[in-house]
């Protein structure tokens, strides 16, 4: 398998695939125009509300109280909680996330690289040793989850991802842990995202379920997606022989920005969003009745000529072009649910490039070892082996100030 291989049937990667209904009754759409019309959802015909798939009684998992499962309208036609929930945290993500997290992300990254160099082998599985570790630790810092809980939280997220919605374990132990975090923060306030949530809760702007819904939701939304994008960063550069190009543009914000947008577009880590259809709809010849499920394929829409904004000279969307401009990809969604962590994810990709290309000289993909990606809710990379010049890396490490340990 190559990093650029799509881990499922090619029709789900093709914007010209006609809309169709599969054997299980799920409808699928692929073109940029169709996907965008659903994301903008002007007549509220589609919903992320999981209620139709949840058991009617019993406890509901906290993930379902997070904003990306909640709409500005309910299925009963009432006002929904999405916009108030988003408003609680949006200012922090827009105004403070990058400034607050930049030094923290850099220190986590440098610590990760130093641990790799300390092994003394000149080898690294970037997917596990650098990428998923960075994305998980950033979320821990964001939510207040302690680093000792990193692996435990990872396992809890996997358990949730592998469960079906109608038999999802409520994960009481995670809920209990989150309440401990909240209690500690009430006793010793800081000036972080968790404090904003706790304050909104003490003021009555959000309820108990919503408060822990945020903690779980951020953990679910920001780890696998970002981990996959970070691994794609290394592996696409290697596959398309662009590692030297990436080294040459370090310090050029615009060129690095374009490269990052193309990695997001080309890989589209979150390939498809299933939505509940509230009103009878139609895409081309396909009628999509109310109460059915619609699969909205970001991965295909991002290969549509429309991502070039109709520019006749734009590069073929099936090619990886690190200088693609314009690049109107929708890998981070669009409309009301436009990714809240987008600046943070791009910052992680930028810092990953800066630090690893500098600290791991001669970094290159190890073609003797397998590359593995699995196609799931997120198209995550599990194995991506690289080598680097161990001696030079040790010299660089020896000449550097040790990073402040991030706890």
Positions in the binding site for ligand HEM (CB under 6 A)? 48, 67-68, 86, 142, 218, 221-222, 225-226, 229, 264, 269-270, 273, 331-333, 337, 339-341, 344-345
C-alpha span between 141 and 146 (Å, rounded): 8
Minimal distance in Å, beta carbon 387 to ligand HEM? 26
Question: CB-wise, 142 or 182, nearer to ligand HEM?
Answer: 142
- Please write down the HEC assignment for all residues of the chain: CCCCCCCCCHHHHCCCCCCEECCCCCEEECCHHHHHHHHHCCCCCEECCCHHHCCCCCCCCHHHHCHHHCCCECCCCCECCHHHHHHHHHHHHHHHHHHHHHHHHHHHHHHHHHHHHHCCCCEEEHHHHHHHHHHHHHHHHHHCCCHHHHHHHHHHHHHHHHCCHHHCCCCHHHHHHHHHHHHHHHHCCCCCHHHHHHHHHHCCCCCHHHHHHHHHHHHHHHCHHHHHHHHHHHHHHHHCCCHHHHHHCCCCHHHHHHHHHHHHHHHCCCCEEEEEECCCEEECCEEECCCCEEEEEHHHHCCCHHHHCCCCCCCCCCCCCCCCCCCCCCCCCCHHHCCCCHHHHHHHHHHHHHHHHHHCCCCEECCCCCCEEECCCCCEEEECEEECCHHHHHHHHHCCCCCCCCC
C-alpha span between 166 and 180 (Å, rounded): 28
Contact 28, 19 (CB under 8 A): yes
Question: CB-wise, 221 or 381, nearer to ligand HEM?
Answer: 221
Question: CB-wise, 26 or 118, nearer to ligand HEM?
Answer: 26
Question: CB-wise, 144 or 269, nearer to ligand HEM?
Answer: 269
Q: Give the rounded distance of the alpha carbon of 165 from its chain centre.
A: 20
Minimal distance in Å, beta carbon 135 to ligand HEM? 7
Helix 193-202 to helix 172-187 angle, to the nearest 10 degrees? 90
Question: CB-wise, 147 or 366, nearer to ligand HEM?
Answer: 147
Question: CB-wise, 62 or 67, nearer to ligand HEM?
Answer: 67
Question: CB-wise, 117 or 130, nearer to ligand HEM?
Answer: 130
Minimal distance in Å, beta carbon 200 to ligand HEM? 15
C-alpha span between 287 and 148 (Å, rounded): 51
Minimal distance in Å, beta carbon 169 to ligand HEM? 23
Minimal distance in Å, beta carbon 341 to ligand HEM? 2
Contact 354, 113 (CB under 8 A): no
Nearest position to ligand HEM, beta carbon: 341
Minimal distance in Å, beta carbon 385 to ligand HEM? 22
Question: CB-wise, 265 or 359, nearer to ligand HEM?
Answer: 265
Name the strands in the sheet holding 293-297, side by side, starting at the edge strand that comes first in the sequence: 20-21, 27-29, 293-297, 272-277, 46-47
Minimal distance in Å, beta carbon 142 to ligand HEM? 6
Minimal distance in Å, beta carbon 263 to ligand HEM? 9
Minimal distance in Å, beta carbon 123 to ligand HEM? 26
Question: CB-wise, 329 or 359, nearer to ligand HEM?
Answer: 329
Minimal distance in Å, beta carbon 106 to ligand HEM? 16
Question: CB-wise, 64 or 218, nearer to ligand HEM?
Answer: 218
| 262, two tokens | 């193309």
Question: CB-wise, 100 or 114, nearer to ligand HEM?
Answer: 100
Minimal distance in Å, beta carbon 344 to ligand HEM? 5
């Amino acid at each position: 398998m190559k990093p650029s291989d799509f881990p499922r049937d090619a029709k789900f990667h093709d914007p010209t695939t006609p809309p169709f209904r599969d054997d299980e009754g799920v409808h699928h759409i692929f073109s940029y125009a169709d996907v965008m019309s659903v994301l903008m959802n002007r007549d509220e015909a589609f919903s992320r509300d999981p209620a139709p798939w949840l058991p009617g009684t019993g406890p509901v998992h906290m993930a379902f109280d997070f904003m990306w499962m909640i709409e500005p309208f309910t299925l009963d036609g009432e006002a929904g909680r999405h916009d108030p929930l988003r408003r609680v945290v949006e200012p922090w993500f827009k105004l403070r996330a990058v400034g607050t997290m930049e030094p923290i992300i850099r220190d986590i990254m440098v610590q990760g690289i130093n641990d790799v160099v300390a092994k003394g082998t000149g080898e690294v599985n970037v997917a596990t040793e650098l990428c998923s570790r960075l994305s998980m630790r950033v979320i821990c810092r964001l939510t207040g989850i302690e680093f000792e809980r990193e692996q435990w939280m990872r396992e809890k997220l996997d358990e949730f991802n592998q469960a079906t919605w109608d038999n999802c374990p409520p994960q009481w132990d995670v809920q209990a842990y989150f309440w401990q975090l909240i209690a500690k923060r009430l006793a010793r306030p800081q000036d972080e995202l968790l404090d904003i949530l706790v304050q909104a809760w003490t003021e009555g702007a959000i309820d108990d379920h919503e408060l822990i819904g945020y903690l779980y939701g951020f953990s679910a939304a920001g780890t696998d997606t970002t981990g996959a994008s970070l691994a794609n960063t290394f592996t696409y550069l290697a596959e398309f022989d662009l590692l030297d190009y990436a080294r040459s543009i370090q310090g050029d914000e615009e060129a690095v920005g374009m490269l990052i947008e193309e990695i997001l577009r080309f890989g589209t880590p979150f390939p498809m969003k299933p939505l509940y259809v509230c009103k009878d709809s139609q895409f081309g010849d396909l009628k999509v009745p109310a109460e059915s499920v619609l699969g909205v394929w970001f991965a295909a829409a991002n290969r549509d000529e429309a991502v070039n904004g109709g520019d006749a000279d734009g590069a073929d969307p099936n090619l990886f072009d690190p200088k693609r401009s314009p690049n109107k990809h929708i890998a981070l969604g669009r409309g009301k649910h436009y990714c809240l962590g987008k600046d943070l994810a791009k910052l992680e990709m930028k810092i990953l490039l800066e630090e690893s290309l500098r600290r791991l000289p001669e970094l290159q993909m190890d073609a003797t070892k397998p590359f593995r990606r699995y196609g799931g809710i997120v198209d995550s990379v599990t194995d991506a082996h690289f080598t680097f010049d161990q001696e030079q890396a040790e010299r660089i490490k020896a000449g550097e100030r040790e990073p402040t340990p991030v706890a």
